[in-house]
Structure 1
Amino acid sequence: MSVIYLLLTLSIIVAVVFFAAFIMAIKNGQYDDSYTPSVRMLFEDELVKKTNEETEKDI
């Protein structure tokens, strides 16, 4: 029974460490997306063209 308490305690400690590392990564900007905004303008034209073509087909 003492092994269960030990494993439970260790798993909670590991979970807290990973959660703290995740919070630190977010605060340091690890997950900021700097690539998509610069490429978004290349894909917006395709969406506009498809929308225009679809509306012309309906007419």
Structure 2
Amino acid sequence: MTGLVFLIPIALGMGLLGLGAFLWSMRDGQYDDMDGAAARILIEEDEPLEDDA
């Protein structure tokens, strides 16, 4: 029973910490452009290597 005295505040603190991190990332603009990151991987900026065969 005394274990709950320690575990409940720790669980609540971790939950509040996770909520704070989520709200910080929302305010920072982490989730603004979800489609751009998916399309950015398809853009090829480097020129291909020439084959010397």
The TM-score normalised by the length of structure 2 is 0.60
Identity %: 24
| More helix as a share of residues | 1
CA RMSD of superposed structures (Å): 1.7
Aligned structure 1 segments of 4 or more residues deviating by more than 3 angstroms? none
Of structures 1 and 2, the one scoring higher in RCO (CA 8 A, sep 6+) is 2
Unaligned runs of 5+ in 2: 40-53
Partner of 1:28: 28
The number of aligned residues is 37
Unaligned runs of 5+ in 1: 40-59
